[in-house]
Amino acid sequence: MNNNIYIPSPLEQFNIDSYITLSLGYIDFSITNAFICFFVASATFLYLLSLATNHGGMLIPTHIQSVIELIYEFLLNLVKEQIGEKGKVFFPFIFCLFTFLVSCNLIGMVPYSFTVTSHFIVTFGLSVSVFVGMTLVGFYTHGLHFFSFLLPPGAPLILAPLLVILELVSYCFRAISLGVRLFANMMAGHTLVKILAGFSWTMMSAGGLLAIASLIPFGIVFALTGLEIGVAILQAYVFTILTCIYLNDAIHLH
């Protein structure tokens, strides 16, 4: 009799499973769990947005319209505070970025779904896109004078070579730090919840006093789930506000 018990790895939830395999040469168009959750997250928010803005919205707002208006006003104030009046042109981008991240993070909290932002390739692609975009904005706004961003004002000329290298490394590292921060927080939180949930289930399956004691880790899992929902929203906010700060640097330099 085989008494071996299969204990799934807490990292299995991050596996990308292909449901429909499609490919064209070396390009893979397969329908995966990541693609489905990505599509569901985007479609869900677009549907809620259409309900809130249908026929220009209601004079007495519905619950959905109130939430959308709160998000809109919150992000508009964020752009004004971090970038200024010149940042209004970037508001549609900031709005789409925040709502996309919030939708993907929250969809990932649904059991048996997939957290798109738990994969570094996704968050890294977003952070590199933001980095390239803000660099182009900087050159478009200031031309070659944008390179003055690498030398802090009032710095001694004798330290200029060292400071330029340090500022260049710090500036380029933004393309990595944005993605790593989001990816690491989402992956670590989901892994911790999975480990505690598996531990609780194992105790409950054992029966006896362990089944009663399993209520303690189960309670911790529920508490961590609520915390993870807060982290999902917070990490979207952190990614968005850092994008605003970087855009402000590109527009106003120092």
Of the ranges 32-41, 203-212, 233-242, which is most confident? 233-242
Q: Once rounded to an integer, what is the mean pLDDT over residues 230-249?
A: 92
Q: Say which residue, 7 or 206, is predicted with more confidence.
A: 206
Q: Band the pLDDT of 194: cuts 50, 70, 90.
A: confident
Q: Looking at the DSSP assignment, which residues form a beta bridge with residue 28? A: 23
Q: Do residues 174 and 247 lie in contact, with contact meaning Cβ atoms separated by under 8 Å?
A: no
Residue 170's alpha-carbon distances to 19, 52, 125, 214, in angstroms, are 41, 41, 19, 47
Task: Report the pLDDT averaged over residues 38-64.
Answer: 78
Average pLDDT score over the chain = 84
pLDDT digits over 76-123, tens only? 999 999 988 888 899 999 999 999 999 999 998 888 888 889 888 889
On whether the CB atoms of residues 208 and 78 are closer than 8 A, the answer is no
Instruction: Tell whether the model's pLDDT for residue 151 goes beyond 70.
Output: yes
Q: Looking at this protein, which amino acid is placed at residue 160?
A: A
Average pLDDT on 197-216 reads 74
Find the mean pLDDT for residues 209-232.
Answer: 81
Number of neighbouring beta carbons within 10 Å of residue 247: 23
